[in-house]
Chain A
Amino acid sequence: KQEVTQIPAALSVPEGENLVLNCSFTDSAIYNLQWFRQDPGKGLTSLLLIQSSQREQTSGRLNASLDKSSGRSTLYIAASQPGDSATYLCAVDLTGGGNKLTFGTGTQLKVEL
């Protein structure tokens, strides 16, 4: 059974700091991995999707890497801003098509002024 773990569970940083969120998964046979953002009491916004054949994806200040063989992914946020405060979830897709997304428990990020 696929298990997805995210470390740390919570993180508080001052504005402007670069930070790394970690995601690990037990079954390396994945189709893709996604990083999502969830604001309190809200749904999910997809940030980055990395296909199993890719090593990284970038969007603005966000960079996600994937090491499928070791079952790890990282989300790098550059020059953090208070507006980045949210819970970040990673999810792996085992079957493709988004049918079986297995989510991690998330990292709750707070960026302080």
Chain B
Amino acid sequence: GAVVSQHPSWVICKSGTSVKIECRSLDFQATTMFWYRQFPKQSLMLMATSNEGSKATYEQGVEKDKFLINHASLTLSTLTVTSAHPEDSSFYICSARKSGNTIYFGEGSWLTVV
């Protein structure tokens, strides 16, 4: 079956540094990927839609200069959290749309900023 992989699964970084999270579709091409964040005991909130070969579409309230999204190929989207702060600590999950409307989610990435 289709698999979406995220890397790293967990990462700890210092305040002020940047960290990159990768989302890969392993056995299908995904022209569109989605990035969500989830705070403890809260639901998933859509951050942005990543479109291959074009700029990402950000949801209201999400800083595009802080959360850089690059979708350089049909199987890879990256989310870079720039100048990370402790309040950016969260669980980040990506999803990818296969042909048609089937959505597959990654395993998620835990980010802790210290």
Contacts and interface: CB of A to CB of B under 8 A. Distances in A.
B46 A101 contact: yes
B101 A96 contact: yes
B43 A42 contact: no
Given A43-B107, A98-B34, A103 B43 contact: yes
Interface size class of A (residues with CB under 8 A): 20 to 34
Given A42-B108, A43-B107, A97 B101 contact: yes
A41 interface: yes
Given A43-B107, A44-B105, A98-B34, A106 B97 contact: no
12 contacts: A4-B43, A41-B91, A43-B6, A43-B105, A43-B106, A43-B107, A44-B44, A44-B95, A100-B46, A102-B46, A103-B44, A104-B43
Question: A4, A36, A45, A98: which has the most chain B beta carbons within 10 Å?
Answer: A98
Nearest to A96: B101
Main DSSP-derived SS at the B contact region: strand
A53 B32 CA distance: 25
Contacts of B91: 41
Nearest to A4: B43
Interface in A19-75: 36, 41-46
Interface string B70-114: 000000000000000000000101010100011111111010000
Interface in B7-24: none
Nearest to A105: B43
A93 B59 CA distance: 15
A89 B46 contact: no
B25 interface: no
A59 to B, nearest CB: 15
A105 B42 contact: yes
B56 to A, nearest CB: 13
B62 to A, nearest CB: 14
B16 to A, nearest CB: 26
A89 B101 contact: no
Contacts of A12: none
Contacts of A101: 34, 44, 46, 103
